[in-house]
Amino acid sequence: MLCRICKSKGKRTKASIYIRHHRLALCKEHFIEWFEKQTAKTIKEFNMFSKDEKVLIAVSGGKDSLSLWYALHRLGYKTYGFHISLGIEGWEYSKKSLDICKKFSERIERPLIIFDIKDEFGYSIEEIAKGSGRKDVCSVCGTFKRYLMNKICKEQGFKVVATGHNLDDESALLLSNTIRWEIGYLGRQHPVLPEKNGFARKVKPFVFFTEKEIVSYAILNKIEYLETGCPNAKEATSILYKRSLAMLEHEMPGTKLRFYKEFLKKARPIFEKELKEHLELNECKICKMPTTASICSVCRTLERLKINVKSR
């Protein structure tokens, strides 16, 4: 198969990648160009951020977040990486993730902000979940990650945080929210969550790329990333939704993109109207971060942990 762009210029270059749902065959150079142009288009279309703003990129060491950091850096944005070291020991996951992020930040010569949960709180995320009596590590982990992202933004003056969520993540989330008719979540599912109530704007510039496209971008740019995911992810139900959508995609190319794009266009505005316009927020009595209660859920979890640890 020949690269479509090279062919239009009278050159016969072999394609490195074929994007089935766009029926597009491209060589290495034109795929990278296409990928970065699409990223810039999504940022512009959803008004995510400008070249004058500092963008904090949440990096885990995986292909999505590091490719995002690379693409935004190449597009000329003021990027800063942010890595939360969770202290997860399975296959030395956290140590490897941190090493990869550090190496990458050195490669592109951009700063990396690191928050080490074990150093700061004395316990890993798994110990925090266990010690506070919670079985689901991922939900505790999600709460802590969101909290720390907001905290770093507030302390270091970032108004925008970018994450590497891709089309596979977003379409699986959409399917899961739709099956359970989670009106609130459906109303909030969008490539941009605006800055509000002291929380930074959250943006997802890769929402229209599939995992495969991102892997290709990472490989073609020689981005070293962690291939093994977090050992706790095995249990995630999102894998089931991803598998179901992959089956549909195989039979009907373009299903995921259509499902997500049509939702944004036709259904989400209806669910958005159902959302409560204003949430009363207070300052957490302990950490001063915005919260709906008098003490935020992270401070409550840490307090519970101290009590449990003392009573052992």
CA distance 276 to 279: 7
Piece of 99-107, 123-131, 240-248, 282-290 that binds Zn ion (CB under 5 A): 282-290
Selected range binding ligand SF4 among 133-141, 185-193, 274-282, 288-296, rule: CB under 6 A: 133-141
To ligand SF4, the closest distance from the beta carbon of 311 in angstroms equals 25
Contact predicate 162/68, CB 8 Å: yes
Q: In angstroms, what is the minimal distance from the CB of 92 to ligand SF4?
A: 14
Q: Is 232 in the site for ligand SF4 (CB under 6 A)?
A: yes
Instruction: Please answer whether residues 227 and 215 qualify as being in contact, where contact means their C-beta atoms are separated by less than 8 angstroms.
Output: no
Q: Is residue 99 a known part of a binding site?
A: no
With CB cut-offs between 5 and 8 Å by kind, which of Zn ion, ligand SF4, none does residue 150 bind? none
Instruction: Confirm or deny that 60 is annotated as ligand binding.
Output: yes
- CA separation, residue 143 to residues 221, 227, 298, 300 (Å): 33, 24, 7, 12
Listed ranges 100-108, 154-162, 175-183, 228-236: which one lies at the site for ligand SF4 (CB under 6 A) = 228-236
Is residue 55 involved in binding Zn ion (CB under 5 A)? no
Q: Which listed option, ligand SF4, Zn ion, none, makes contact with residue 149 (CB within 5 to 8 Å by class)?
A: none
Candidates 24-32, 154-162, 190-198, 226-234 — which segment interacts with ligand SF4 by CB under 6 A?
226-234
CB of 43 to Zn ion, least distance (A): 24
Q: Which stretch binds ligand SF4 (CB under 6 A): 4-12, 61-69, 227-235, 262-270?
A: 227-235
Non-local (6+) Cβ contacts of 153 within 8 A are: 56, 159, 161, 199, 200
Question: 33 or 92: whose CB is closer to Zn ion?
Answer: 33
Tokens 């991922």 belong to which residue?
138
* Tokens linked to 186: 């459906």
Q: Which of residues 233-252 bind ligand SF4 (CB under 6 A)?
A: 233
Residue 141 binds to ligand SF4 (criterion: CB under 6 A): yes
Contact characters 24-53, Zn ion, x per CB under 5 A: ---x--x-----------------------
Residue from 2, 24, 108, 138 binding ligand SF4 (CB under 6 A): 138
What residues between 259 and 278 interact with ligand SF4 by CB under 6 A?
none
Q: Binding residue per annotation — 169?
A: yes
| Residues of the shown chain interacting with Zn ion in the complex, contacts defined by CB under 5 A | 3, 5-6, 13, 27, 30, 284, 286-287, 296, 299
Q: Can you say which residues are annotated as belonging to the binding site for ATP?
A: 58-60, 64, 84, 164, 169
| Residues of the shown chain interacting with ligand SF4 in the complex, contacts defined by CB under 6 A | 137-138, 141-142, 230, 232-233
